[in-house]
Amino acid sequence: MDEFDQQYEAFKQLIKGKTPEQALGMIRLFGMSEELAKRIAERHQQETIKVREMTQPGSVVRNNRETWYVGPQEGDRCWPAFRDLLSGDGWDAAALQSLDDASTKVVSMLDHPQERAFSTRGLVVGYVQSGKTTNFTALIAKAADAGYKFFIVLAGMHNGLRRQTQLRLQDQLVDQVVDQWHALTGPDGDFEPPHGNPAAFFAQSNGQHVLCVVKKNVPRLRKLKGWLEKAPDYLRTCPTLIIDDEADQASVASKTTNPLIREIIDLFPRGGYVGYTATPFANLLIDPASGDLYPRDFIVNLPKPEGHFGTEVLFGRQPIEGEDPEDAPDGYDMIRSVPHEEVPLVRPGRDELDDFVPEITGALRDSVLYFWLTTAARRHRGTGNPHSTMLVHTSVSTLVHESFKEPLEDFRAEVAAALKAGDEAVLAELRGLWAEETGRVPANEFRETATGFDELLTHLGTVVSECRVILDNSVSVERLDYENGPVTAIAVGGNTLSRGLTLEGLVVSYFVRGASTYDTLLQMGRWFGFRKGYADLPRVWMTDDLRDWFRHIATVEAEMRRDIDRYLVEDKTPQTFAVRLRSHPALRITAAPKMRDAIKASSSYGGQRVQTRYFRTHDAAWLRANQEAARGLLDDGIRLDGARHEDLSLQGRAGRHLLRGVSHDSILTFLSRYRFHEKSMDCDTRLLGDYIEKRTRSANGGSLRRWNVAVVGRAAGGSAERRYEFVPGIAVDRIDRARQITEDPSIADIKTLMNPIDAGIDLDLTAWSGQPITEDMLKQARLAQSPDTGLLVLYPIDRTSPTTRPKRVPLDAVDHVIGVAMVFPVPRGEDSRVDWYSADLSGVLPDDDLDDLPEEDVTAALYEGQL
Residues 386 and 535 in one domain: yes
Domain stops at, among 244, 279, 303: 303
At 97, the pLDDT band (50, 70, 90 cuts) reads very high
Is position 308 within any domain?
no
Residues 399 and 359 in one domain: yes
Residues 330 and 428 in one domain: yes
CA distance 140 to 146: 10
Please write the tens of the pLDDT for every residue from 675-729. Answer: 999 877 668 788 788 889 888 887 566 789 999 999 999 887 778 888 999 999 9
pLDDT at 233 over 70: yes
Strand order in the sheet with 706-712: 609-611, 817-823, 789-797, 706-712, 656-663, 644-647
Mean pLDDT along residues 756-764? 90
pLDDT of the residue at 842: 67
Residues 285 and 145 in one domain: yes
Give the CA radius of gyration of the chain. 30
pLDDT at 849 over 70: no
Residues 84 and 11 in one domain: no
Please write the tens of the pLDDT for every residue from 124-142. Answer: 998 877 888 999 999 999 9
Is position 406 within any domain?
yes
3-class DSSP state of 88? helix
Is position 178 within any domain?
yes
Is position 445 within any domain?
yes
Query: Which range (5-14, 578-587, 605-614, 803-812) has the least confidence?
Result: 5-14
Task: Name the percent of the chain lying above pLDDT 90.
Answer: 49
pLDDT of the residue at 178: 93
| Residue with the larger pLDDT of the pair 647 and 565 | 647
Is position 390 within any domain?
yes
Cα dihedral 200, 201, 207, 209 sign? negative
| Residue with the larger pLDDT of the pair 57 and 328 | 328
pLDDT of the residue at 2: 67
Please write the tens of the pLDDT for every residue from 582-612. Answer: 888 778 888 888 888 888 765 567 777 888 9
> How many domains would you assign to the chain?
5
pLDDT of the residue at 850: 26
Residues 112 and 23 in one domain: no
Contact 530, 309 (CB under 8 A): yes
Residues 743 and 625 in one domain: yes
Residues 107 and 241 in one domain: yes
> Given phi > 0 = left and psi -120 to 50 = alpha, else beta, which region is 129?
left
Please write the tens of the pLDDT for every residue from 255-302. Answer: 999 999 999 999 999 999 999 998 999 998 998 888 899 998 888 888
Task: Name the percent of the chain lying above pLDDT 70.
Answer: 89
pLDDT of the residue at 860: 25
- Give the residue numbers spanning the domain of 574: 567-600+841-863
Please write the tens of the pLDDT for every residue from 18-60. Answer: 666 777 777 777 777 888 888 888 887 777 666 545 544 554 3
Residues 89 and 217 in one domain: yes
Residues 241 and 332 in one domain: no
pLDDT of the residue at 421: 95
Q: Quick check: bond before 806 cis, omega within 30?
A: no
Is position 744 within any domain?
yes
Is position 59 within any domain?
no
pLDDT of the residue at 800: 95
Strand order in the sheet with 599-603: 581-582, 832-838, 599-603
Residues 589 and 615 in one domain: no
Is position 857 within any domain?
yes
Strand order in the sheet with 150-155: 58-60, 298-301, 118-125, 270-277, 240-245, 150-155, 209-214, 181-183
pLDDT at 83 over 90: yes
Is the full-model pTM beyond 0.85?
Answer: no
pLDDT of the residue at 861: 24
Residues 435 and 572 in one domain: no
Which residues lie across from 214 on neighbouring strands? 154
Domain stops at, among 275, 303, 331: 303
The overall average pLDDT reported for the chain is 85
